[in-house]
A and B are shown apart, each in its own frame.
Chain A
Amino acid sequence: MKKQHFDPITLEILWRRLVSIVDEADASVARTAFSSLLRDAHDYTCMFTDSRGQELVQGTFCTPGQAGAMALGVKKIIQSMPLDSYKEGDVFIVNDPWLLAGHLNDVCVLSPIFFKERPVAFTACVFHHSDIGGRVSSDNREVFEEGIYIPVTRLYDAGVLNQDLLNMIRWNVRTPEEVTGDIRSQVAANHVCAEKIIEMMTEENLTTLDDLADEIITRTETSMRAAIEKIPDGTYDHKGVIEGAGSRPDIHVQLAVTVDGSDIHVDFAGTSSQVDWGVNVVYNFTYAYVFMAIKSAFDPDIPINEGAIRPVHMTAPEGSIINCRFPAAVAARMQVGHFMTEMVFNALAPATPDRVIAGSGGTPAQTNILYGKRGNGKPWHTMIIRGGGMGASRNMDGHHCAIFPANGANTPVEILESDTPLIVTERGLVTDSGGPGRQRGGIGRLMTLRVPTVEESGGHPPSRTTIAVQAGRFVYPPDGIFGGKPGACARFLKNTEPADPSGLTFLDPGDSITFVSAGGGGYGDPVERDPQAVLCDVQYGYVSVEKAKTDYKVVIDPDALTLDLDATRILRHKPKGV
C-alpha cells in the first residue's frame, strides 16, 4: 500500500489529538480507580503504540520510570507474537519485572485496537498496585517472596473474561476487591483510549496509524538529536555511592557518558553486582531514568515517543545491580533506580552547567506501605508516596517537595484518614533542610502519623499496624553542585526516637511514626546568595536566623527579622581563618 504523507500542519493537528486522547484515558483513571495510590497519588502511566509496537504517545502526567520502561517492554511484548494472532477484544495482563517496569506491583494491561477488522495500534497502561501479595519488605532475597508473578496472559480472550486467572490473582493478594477494581480501571482506561483512536481514524479517513507514526517519530528523533548535538563531544565519568539500608554495604555506581555527535551512550561498567535484598534494578527501569536525564535536561518540550529514545543508548553489565538477573529481589528498585538521573546530571554537569540540577530529596521517592485491621476487625491496606526538596539549578531555587525524577502526588490527609484508622498529626516543611547555595535547594517535609489509642478510636482501637519503608538519603544527603551545600538527610522516627527504616516496623495504639524527607542540594556558593533572598527565606521560616549567619553569612535581627546589611558585608568579607 502507498505510504501516506502528512503536510506539517495536518501532522501537528493529528499529533496533538493523539496526546489529548491518551490524556483523556489518563484522566478516566481518577474516576474509576479504587486505591488512593492511583486515584489520588497518580502512580500510573497510559500510552499507546502503532501496530509495530513503537511508542507513539504517553500520558502527560506519566511516571517517567513506568513510561520509559514501557517504551521498551511493550514493544517487546507486541513483537513477540505475529500481528495476525491478536483477536479483537483481547486484553493482556502482565507484571513480569524484567519485561516491564521492574517490580511486581507495576501491572500492565495491554489491548490491541482493531479498526476495520485489523489491529492498527496497541494501548497499554501500567498501574502501581498497592498490594500484589507476597512479603511486603525491601529485605526479601528473591522475587518469589515479593508477590504474585503474572507472565504475559490473556485476561480477556476475544472479549471473554478469563475468570480463572482473575480468581488466581484475587487469592494471592490481601485486598482482592481493590486489586480487582484497579484492574477493571486499567481495562476502562484502555477502552477510552481505543474508542477515541477509532473515532479519530474514522473522522480522518486513516486506514493505518503507522504512516503517521513514522512522521511523528522521525520528527521527534530529529529534535532529540539536534538537542544532543549541542552537548560538547566527549566522555564524562562519574562515580556515585548509594547507601545500603541498615547495615548493608554501600552500592557503587560507575558511569561513563559518551556524547558522540547526536548520539549519547551511557556505560555502567564497574558498577556493583546485584544484591540479595530488594533494590535490584532491571535494565528497562535503569534505562528509563537515564533517558529521563537526557530528555529533561536537553529537550523537554517535545512529546515523547519511540523517536526520543533512539539516540540514547545504554550498556550495563549483566548481573550488576542496575541490570539484574532473574530471580533477583526487585520490589524496592526505586531506591537505586531513581538515582540514575542524578548520576547522569553529575557526569554532564561540567559540560552543561546550566542544564542540570543538584541532588534532590525526592530521589529516591519515599514510599510506605501500611496495613492492619480496624477496631471492628476489618482489614485495611494503603500505600503513600512522597518526595523531598528538589535540587537547585543555575537560575532557580529548588522546588519544595516533589518526587523527582519519578513523579506522583501526595495522598490527602483526609483521604488517608478515611481509608485507614490512622491519625496524621503533622505534614509540613522542615526549616533549614534545603541545601545552602547561591540558589537554595528545595525544602524537605515532615509527616507524623499515629495509631489512635483506645480513647481516640472511640473504644475500638485498631490492631497493630505494619509499616514497610522504601526510602533512602538517611546516610548520604542530596549533594550540592558548583559549591552548593548538601540538603538535610532524611530521618525515620518512632515515638520521636530514630528507628531503623529497613525491614518492617510495627506500631501499637498510641505509637507514632515520623518521616522526614531530605532537602535538595544547593547550586553555587551560598555566600553569593542575594541577602534579600536569604532574608525572605528567614521570614518564611525556610532558613533559621542562625543558619543564615553560618551558611550564608547574612546577619538578620532575630526579633524584627530585618536584614543587617553592614554586619552582613563585614561577615562576608572577613578573611578566612580570622
Chain B
Amino acid sequence: MDQSGFRLGCDIGGTFTDFVLVNTRTGEFFTNKCLTTPNDPSDAVEKGIKELLQVKPGFLDQVEDVIHGTTLVINAIIERKGAKTGLITTKGFRDVLELGREIRYDAYDIFSQYPAPIVPRALRKEIDERVTADGRVLAPVDEKQVRALVTDFQKQGIESLAVCCINSYENPVNEQVLQRIIQDADPDLSTSFSFEVLPQIREYERTCTTAVNAYVKPITFQYLERLTLRLADMGFLGRLYIMLSSGGITSVETARKFPVRIIESGPTAAVIASQHYGKMFHIKDMFCFDMGGTTAKSCLIQKGNAGLVSTFEVGRVQRFKKGSGLPIQVPVVDLMEIGAGGGSIAKISSLGLLAVGPESAGADPGPACYNQGGENPTVTDADLVLGYLDPDFFLGGTMALDIGKSRTAIEEKIANPLGTSVTEAAFGIHDLINETMAAAAKTHIAEKGGNPSSVVMSAFGGAGPVHAYGLAKKIGAKSILVPPLAGVGSALGFFTAPVAFDLSRSHRLALGEADFGDIEDLFAQLEKEGAAILADAAKDTRVMFQRTLLMRFVGQGAETDLVIDPKPFTQWSHKEIRDRFDTEYKRLYGRTYPETPVEFVTFKVRASLPQKPFSMPRLTGKANTLAACIKGQRKAFSVVNKTYIDFTVYDRSLLFAGAGFAGPAIIEERESTIVMGEDASATVDDTGFVWIRIGEETR
C-alpha cells in the first residue's frame, strides 16, 4: 500500500465548489471543480470527491484532514433561510434588536430601506432579571417564568434560541442561570448565549451577533453533521476542519457552537493563501487581489500577515452601503470587498459619466456574451471585445461566448450615448473597473500604512489575472504573482491556514494602578482556554500565543490596539507600555498627550498551532521550449499604445520551470487568463508561479 498521506481542501463558492487534493509526501496534486448545489451543499462535495476518486482511486482513507470553507452561513443570512429563532432578553429590551442604533446610514435619502431584525417581534420575549453596569445582581432570574417562556416558545415552534441580557458582558451570572434552566427544560433546543458568543459592551451589537449565531446554528449543525457522515461513509478517517473568518481553521465542534465565526469562510481563503506566499517568498508587502463574478476582494498582507478587525456587516440591504446591514462583532480578516467583478454592469450615470457596477449581471442572465438574454454590457463583455478573453476557450472551451452580443450591448448602451467608438467604450469599461478597484486598493493599502507602488500583487479568481496587469499599473505596482491554479486558489489556500482561535476579555484598568501580575494571570487564563479549544481540534501540544492590548486615554470610547511580545507581562515596565501606546497613537492621529492617563480595556489572545508544513507542488509543464507552449497570436488591446496589437497566446499547462518571455502576452489556463502588456515580462519558477514584472527591459 502506498504510505503517502493526503490533504483535501474544499471550498464551496456561490457558483462553483473547488477541490484541491495534495499528496503530502510527493507534493503531487489534483484539482476538481463542480457546480455548487445550494439545497444541500454536501451533494457537491460528495460528487466532487467521487470524481477525484476516478482520477486517484482509493485516496480517501489516506486523507489526514479535509479543510473546508463554505458560503452556507452567509447565504442563509442574506437569503433569510436560517432557523425560526426566538430571543430572550431583559424586561424592557425586546425591541433592542429592532431599534438598532437608529442612525440613518444615508443622511440625504428619505427612502432608505433598513434590514429587518433577524428575530421578529413576536418571537422576542422578556424576563424579569437585572444586572447593573458594575456587575451587581439587582434582580435574579425567576425559574418558573423561564420555564413558562420555554413552553411558549415550543408552542410557537422555534428551532433555535438566543439569550442576551443587559450588562451580561460585565457579569454573566444571570445568563448562566438561564442556560442551566433552559437546557434542563428543553435539552434538544439549539441555544446561543451572549456571554459565550460575544462578551462585550453595547447591547445591540451583542444581541445581534448572538441572534445571528442562533439563526444559523441549526443549519450549520445539520450540514456539518451530514457532511461528516457522508465523508465517513465514503471512507474518510481523518479530521475535518472548518475555515474561520479570522483566517484560522477550527474543529467541527467549535464551528457548530459559533457558526457566526465562519461567515467569511470563503473570501478569507485567498488571503490566507497569499499570507503563505508572502512568507514563502519573503515579501514585505503583498496585495492579495481576488476578483470573481460579482465582487473583488483585496487585502494588504504585511510580512506575511493580514490584519484582523473585530467587526463587520452582513446582509446589507443597500449593497456595499455601510450601515445598511447587520453588525457582527467577531474577528475577521481585514479584507475589503467591493462591487467589481466580471459581471459588473456598465451604464451611463445621471451625471452623463460612464459608471461600472456595483450591480452585477450575475449568472442569470449574465454578461451579454453568455447569450442568455442579458442586454447590459459587463466587464466580461469589454474584456472579450478587447481580445483578452478567447470566445472559444472560456472555462477551457466548455462555454462559447458571443462576441457580437458584447459589441452590440457596448455600442448601444455606452458608445452611442457617449459618442465614442466601441473600442473606446470597451476600454473605458475595462479601465474604469480597474480605476474603481485601484481607488479602493490605494485607500486600503494607505490605511494600513503601506505604499501601493512597492507591493507585490497576487492575483486570484476567474477575473483576477485578467485585470491584475491593468490594476498594477494604476496603483504603480511593479510585480504580479499569479500562483498555480489561481482559479481554485481558495481551496489551495486552506492548506496554509493554521489551527487557531481568538479570545478576549474586557477588564478596565488604569495603567497607573495596574498590577502587571494580575494582568499576567488574566493572559494565562485566556491562554489556558485557548489551549483547551485547540485540544478539541488537534492532538498537537505546541500551542503558540499572541497577545494584544487594547488601550485608550481614560474617557475615550474606543481603543488603540497594541500587539506585544508574549513574554511574561511582569517583565514589562509601566513606562514601556506607556511609550508603546504614545508611539502608536501619534502614528495614527498626529499628536499624543503623554500627560493624559491611559487605561487597559480589553486583553486579547490568539492561540494557534504551528502550520503544517506545506510546500507548493513542483510544477513542470510537458514542454521544454517556449515555441511548444505557444497556442498562437491574437489581436488584443494595448493599454500602452491604446490600439490593438498582436499578443502571443501561451498555454499555461505546458509552461516549464525557467520559462521566460516578454509581453504582449496572454497566458491561458482552464479557470482563468493572465494578460500582460508589451511593457511587461514573465518568468515561471519551479513551483509554477508566474512572476510578471512591469516596466523593465524585456529579455
Interface locus among A58-66, A467-475, A491-499? A58-66
**Does A254 have its Cβ within 8 Å of any Cβ on chain B?**
no
Instruction: Give Cα A67 to B593, complex, Å.
Output: 29
- With A13-B436, A188-B590 as given contacts, are A540 and B560 in contact (CB-CB < 8 Å)? no
Q: Given the complex of chains A and B, what is the CA–CA distance between A403 and B203 in angstroms?
A: 20
Count residues of chain A with CB under 8 A from any CB of chain B.
Answer: 89
Q: When A9-B428, A414-B133, A428-B94 are in contact, do A191 and B203 touch as well, CB less than 8 Å? A: no
CB-CB under 8 A from A10, the residues of chain B are 435
- Say yes or no: is B25 at the interface (Cβ < 8 Å to chain A): no
A296-B98 contact given A61-B103, A178-B555, CB 8 Å threshold:
no
Query: Is B122 within 8 A of A301, CB to CB?
Result: no
User: Which of A117-125, A311-319, A417-425, A482-490 lies at the binding interface?
Assistant: A417-425
A302 touches B351 (CB 8 A): yes
* Contact, CB under 8 Å: B589 / A188: yes
CA distance A481 to B122 in the complex (A): 30
**Measured CA separation A4–B567 after assembly (Å):** 56
Whether B354 pairs with A540 at a CB distance below 8 angstroms is no
**Does A214 interact with chain B (Cβ within 8 Å)?**
no
Contact of A417 with B103 in the complex, beta carbons under 8 Å: no
Q: Are A24 and B443 in contact (CB under 8 A)?
A: yes
A residues 388-426 near B (Cβ < 8 Å) are 390, 393, 395-396, 399-404, 407-410, 412-415, 417-418, 423-426
B386 → A minimal CB distance (Å): 15
B322 within 8 A of A: yes
A427:B351 contact, CB within 8 angstroms: no
List chain A residues, Cβ under 8 A from B167: 414, 417
Contacts of B351 in A (CB 8 A): 219, 222-223, 302
- Contacting residues, chain B, for A402 (C-beta < 8 A): 102-104
Residues of B within 8 A of A42 (CB): 103
Q: Does A387 contact B (CB under 8 A)?
A: yes
Asked if residues A12 and B432 are in contact (CB atoms below 8 Å), the reply is: yes
Q: Is B443 touching A409 in the complex (CB atoms < 8 A)?
A: no
- Cβ of A98 within 8 Å of any chain B Cβ, yes or no, is no
From 81 to 107 in chain B, residues with beta carbon under 8 angstroms from any chain A beta carbon are: 91-96, 98-99, 101-107
Closest Cβ neighbor of B321 among chain A residues = A60
Does A456 touch B at the CB level, under 8 Å?
yes
B591 at the interface (CB under 8 A from A): yes
- Residue from the list B93, B432, B476, B555 in contact with A9, Cβ < 8 A: B432
Q: How far is the CA of A226 from the CA of B557 in the complex (A)?
A: 43
Interface check A17, CB cutoff 8 A: yes
Inter-chain contact A181/B110, CB cutoff 8 Å: no
* Segment of A26-34, A142-150, A329-337 engaged in the interface with chain B: A26-34
Please tell me if A541 contacts chain B, counting CB pairs below 8 Å. yes
Check B432–A387 contact: CB distance below 8 A: no
Report the bound CA distance from A225 to B508 in whole Å.
54
Cα(A191)–Cα(B436), bound, Å: 25
Q: Which residue of chain B lies nearest to A40 when distances are taken between CB atoms in the complex?
A: B557
User: In the complex the two chains form, what is the Cα distance from A541 to B95 in whole Å?
Assistant: 11
Q: Give residues of chain A (35-50) contacting chain B, Cβ–Cβ below 8 Å.
A: 36, 39-40, 42
Given the contacts A9-B431, A28-B589, A540-B122, A414 and B203 also touching, CB distance less than 8 Å:
yes
Tell me whether B1 is interfacial, beta carbon within 8 Å: no
- Greatest chain A CB density within 10 A among B99, B110, B439 is at B110
Stretch in A127-135, A192-200, A502-510, A565-573 touching the partner: A192-200
Task: Tell me, yes or no, whether B166 is within 8 Å of chain A by CB.
Answer: yes
Q: A20-B439, A196-B446, A428-B94 are in contact. Are A407 and B111 (CB under 8 A)?
A: no
B447, CB-defined interface residue at 8 Å: yes
| Interface check B136, CB cutoff 8 A | yes
On whether the beta carbons of A393 and B555 are closer than 8 Å, the reply is no
Are the C-beta atoms of B201 and A184 separated by less than 8 Å? no
Instruction: Please give the number of chain B residues whose Cβ is less than 8 angstroms from any Cβ of chain A in the complex.
Output: 73
Q: Is the CB of A32 within 8 A of B556?
A: yes
Question: Are A300 and B556 in contact (CB-based, < 8 A)?
Answer: no
Q: Which of B95, B98, B323, B553 is packed against the most chain A CB atoms within 10 Å?
A: B95
Q: Chain A 439-474, CB within 8 Å of chain B: the 1/0 string?
A: 000000100100010001010000000000000000
Decide if A427 touches B93 in the complex (CB within 8 Å): yes
Given the contacts A191-B589, A425-B92, A61 and B323 also touching, CB distance less than 8 Å? yes
Given A8-B354, A62-B107, A63-B107: A415 in contact with B98 (beta carbons within 8 A):
no
The residue in chain B whose Cβ has the minimal distance to the Cβ of A175 is: B555
B591 touches A188 (CB 8 A): yes
Partner of B439, one of A13, A60, A292, A301: A13
A197-231 interface mask toward B, CB cutoff 8 Å, 1 = contact, 0 = none? 00100010000000000000001001100100000
> CB < 8 Å: which of B98, B101, B111, B138 contacts A429?
B98
Provide the residues of chain B in CB contact with A404, threshold 8 Å.
104, 110
Most buried by A among B98, B133, B352, B443: B133
**Chain B residues in 8 Å Cβ range of A235:** none
Chain B CB within 8 A of A290 CB: no
Contact B591 A177 (CB under 8 A): no
CB distance from B43 to the nearest CB of A (A): 36
Q: A400-B98, A426-B92 are in contact. Are A34 and B590 (CB under 8 A)?
A: no
**Residue of A24, A292, A410, A413 touching B166 (CB-CB under 8 A):** A413
- Whether the pair A418, B102 counts as a contact (CB closer than 8 A) is no
Known: A60-B107, A61-B323, A191-B589. A31 touches B442 (CB 8 A): no
User: What does the 1/0 interface line of A274-309 toward B look like (CB < 8 Å)?
Assistant: 000000000000000000100111001110100000
Q: How far is the CB of A515 from chain B (nearest CB, A)?
A: 14
Q: Residue on A with the closest CB to B122?
A: A539
Interface residues in B541-578 (C-beta closer than 8 Å to A): 553-560
**Among B122, B354, B436, B556, which residue has the most Cβ atoms of chain A within 10 A?**
B556
- Nearest-CB residue, chain A, relative to B355: A12
B109 touches A296 (CB 8 A): yes
Please state if B121 and A64 are interface contacts (CB–CB under 8 Å): no
Q: How close is B433's CB to chain A, nearest CB, in angstroms?
A: 10
Q: Is the C-beta of A357 less than 8 angstroms from some C-beta in chain B?
A: yes
Q: Which residues of A contact B588 (CB under 8 A)?
A: 28
B-side contacts of A187, CB under 8 Å: 590-591
Q: How many Å lie between the Cα of A120 and that of B351 in the bound state?
A: 26
Interface: B398 (CB within 8 A): no
Q: Does A103 contact B (CB under 8 A)?
A: no
Assembly CA distance A195 to B91 (angstroms):
48
Enumerate B572-606 residues with CB–CB distance to A below 8 Å: 588-591, 593, 596
Chain B residues with CB under 8 Å of A540's CB are 120-122
- Residues of chain B within 8 A (CB-CB) of A219 are 351, 353
Contact partner of A424 (CB less than 8 A), chosen from B92, B204, B435, B555, is: B92
Confirm or deny: B39 has a beta carbon within 8 angstroms of a beta carbon on chain A.
no
Q: A428: which of B95, B203, B435 is its contact (CB, 8 Å)?
A: B95
Q: Is A239 an interface residue (CB 8 A)?
A: no
Whether, in the assembled complex, A386 has its beta carbon less than 8 Å from a beta carbon of chain B, the answer is yes
Q: Does A11 belong to the interface (CB within 8 Å)?
A: yes
Residue of A with least CB distance to B139 = A456
Q: How far is the CA of A414 from the CA of B122 in the complex (A)?
A: 24
Closest to A177 in B: B555
At the interface, yes or no: B202 with Cβ under 8 Å from chain A?
Answer: yes
Most buried by A among B91, B438, B590, B593: B590
CB distance from B125 to the nearest CB of A (A): 12
Q: Is B114 interfacial (CB-CB < 8 Å)?
A: yes
CB contact list, B131-187 vs A, under 8 A: 132-134, 136, 138, 166-167, 169
Task: Given A40-B557, A199-B446, A417-B132, output 7 extra A-B contacts at Cβ < 8 Å.
Answer: A9-B432, A12-B355, A407-B104, A408-B103, A412-B203, A414-B167, A429-B98
Instruction: Please give me the 3 A-B residue pairs with the lowest Cβ-Cβ distance, nearest first.
Output: A426-B92, A191-B590, A39-B557
* Selected A-B contacts with CB under 8 Å, 13 pairs: A8-B353, A11-B353, A24-B447, A39-B556, A60-B322, A181-B553, A188-B589, A203-B476, A219-B351, A414-B167, A429-B121, A445-B95, A452-B132
Identify the A interface with B (CB < 8 A): 8-13, 16-17, 20-21, 24, 28, 30-34, 36, 39-40, 42, 60-64, 67, 177-178, 181, 184, 187-188, 191-192, 195-196, 199, 203, 219, 222-223, 226, 292, 295-297, 300-302, 304, 357, 386-387, 390, 393, 395-396, 399-404, 407-410, 412-415, 417-418, 423-429, 445, 448, 452, 456, 458, 539-541
